């Protein structure tokens, strides 16, 4: 309620529980708000690390963007607070944890499961784009699983209000970046369409499409050329959707409305929630 919303939180308001994961810049703990008993995930970030990486602005933007978002497939950011050394993010707790751990454990997903997750991510992206927000960092590591195993997009550390041309040095994996970003071109909401295609590929194959052991330059070249090989273990419907999203020309990428109507996605609706 509004009283809860605007109040000043502090660490004393929470009972800290088990560690949930170790993300970038800090740890995440299960926590219970003392007065209400409400369970949350509390991410503890060290200011020194934020300053060293010069990402304070990005974190502020994430908090600003996330605090206005409400969607079943987007992990809530309820609020934040800070003390002398740390910033704390009060996050929705995702009881089934991190999707990428499930993916690494099982190798790849059944196509019905993969299609369900892609449909849920498409719904989240439709909501984000309708609010002129580009996530820009859609990958398994940023997807969590809710109480009923539903996918929830998290970690808006890289999201921007469209159109974004920020040329922040991209750290982490290149695997998910579309050609226009590796080429440093102006990018907009269609970068998320490309990443959705990479996500679908990784879900059904078990590895991203342009991964190169030879290093990032080789990955870079394969992305720029859209050097895409889809194994024939992948169903024709899944391969068709992946090809329609991994188009070099952003205008040619299948719009989200059409993704939801694609046979591979429509099929997944009646199989599971």
Ligand X SMILES: Nc1ncnc(NCCc2cnc(NC(=O)Nc3cccc(C(F)(F)F)c3)s2)c1Br
Instruction: Please identify the residue of the shown chain whose CB is closest to the bound ligand X.
Output: 157
Give the nearest distance from C-beta 256 to ligand X in angstroms. Answer: 22
E-only strand ranges, 92-193: 133-134, 143-145, 151-153, 160-161
Show the tokens assigned to 118.
């892609």
Q: Pick between residue 24 and residue 185 the one whose CB is nearest to ligand X.
A: 24
Residues lying near ligand X in the complex (CB under 6 A) are found at 20-21, 23-25, 28, 41, 43, 45, 55, 58-59, 62, 75, 89, 91, 93-94, 97-98, 144, 154-155, 157
Residues 6+ apart with CB under 8 A from 233: 205
Q: Pick between residue 43 and residue 129 the one whose CB is nearest to ligand X.
A: 43
The rounded distance, in Å, linking the Cα atoms of 210 and 221 is 9
Give the nearest distance from C-beta 199 to ligand X in angstroms. Answer: 17
Give the nearest distance from C-beta 90 to ligand X in angstroms. Answer: 10
137 counts as catalytic: yes
Q: Would you say 140 and 103 are in contact if contact means Cβ atoms under 8 Å apart?
A: yes
- Upstream peptide bond of 163 is cis (omega within 30 degrees of 0): yes
Tokens 């890289």: give the residue.
Answer: 158
Q: Pick between residue 62 and residue 111 the one whose CB is nearest to ligand X.
A: 62
Show the tokens assigned to 6.
């605007």
Give the nearest distance from C-beta 110 to ligand X in angstroms. Answer: 23
As a dihedral over the C-alpha atoms of residue 123, residue 113, residue 202, residue 22, rounded to 10 degrees, the angle is 80
Q: Pick between residue 58 and residue 247 the one whose CB is nearest to ligand X.
A: 58
Q: Pick between residue 93 and residue 190 the one whose CB is nearest to ligand X.
A: 93
13, 83, 137, 232: the active-site residue: 137
Phi-psi region of 59 (alpha: psi -120 to 50; beta: other; left: phi over 0): alpha
Give the nearest distance from C-beta 59 to ligand X in angstroms. Answer: 3
Three-state secondary structure call for residue 104: helix
Show the tokens assigned to 196.
């959705």
The rounded distance, in Å, linking the Cα atoms of 208 and 163 is 26
The rounded distance, in Å, linking the Cα atoms of 175 and 194 is 11
**Any idea which residues carry the catalytic annotation?**
137
């Amino acid at each position: 309620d509004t009283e809860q919303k605007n109040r000043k939180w502090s660490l004393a308001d929470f009972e800290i529980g088990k560690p949930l994961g170790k993300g970038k810049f800090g740890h995440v703990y299960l926590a219970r708000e003392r007065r209400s008993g409400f369970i949350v995930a509390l991410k503890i970030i060290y200011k020194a690390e934020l300053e060293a990486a010069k990402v304070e602005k990005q974190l502020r933007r994430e908090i600003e963007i996330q605090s206005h978002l409400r969607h079943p497939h987007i992990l809530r950011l309820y609020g934040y607070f800070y003390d002398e050394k740390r910033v704390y993010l009060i996050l929705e707790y995702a009881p089934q944890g991190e999707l990428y751990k499930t993916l690494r454990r099982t190798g790849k997903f059944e196509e019905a499961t993969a299609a369900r997750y892609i449909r849920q991510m498409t719904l989240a992206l439709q909501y984000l784009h309708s609010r002129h927000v580009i996530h820009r960092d859609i990958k398994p590591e940023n997807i969590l699983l809710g109480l009923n195993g539903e996918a929830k997009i998290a970690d808006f550390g890289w999201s921007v209000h469209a159109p974004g041309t920020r040329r922040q040095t991209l750290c982490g994996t290149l695997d998910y970046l579309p050609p226009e970003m590796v080429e440093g071109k102006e990018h907009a909401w269609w970068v998320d369409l490309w990443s959705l295609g990479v996500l679908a590929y990784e879900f059904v194959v078990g590895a991203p499409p342009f991964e190169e052991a030879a290093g990032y330059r080789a990955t870079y070249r394969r992305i720029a050329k859209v050097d895409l090989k889809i194994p024939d273990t992948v169903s024709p419907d899944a391969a068709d959707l992946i090809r329609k999203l991994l188009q070099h020309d952003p205008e040619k990428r299948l719009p989200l409305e059409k993704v939801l109507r694609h046979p591979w996605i429509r099929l997944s609706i009646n199989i599971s929630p």
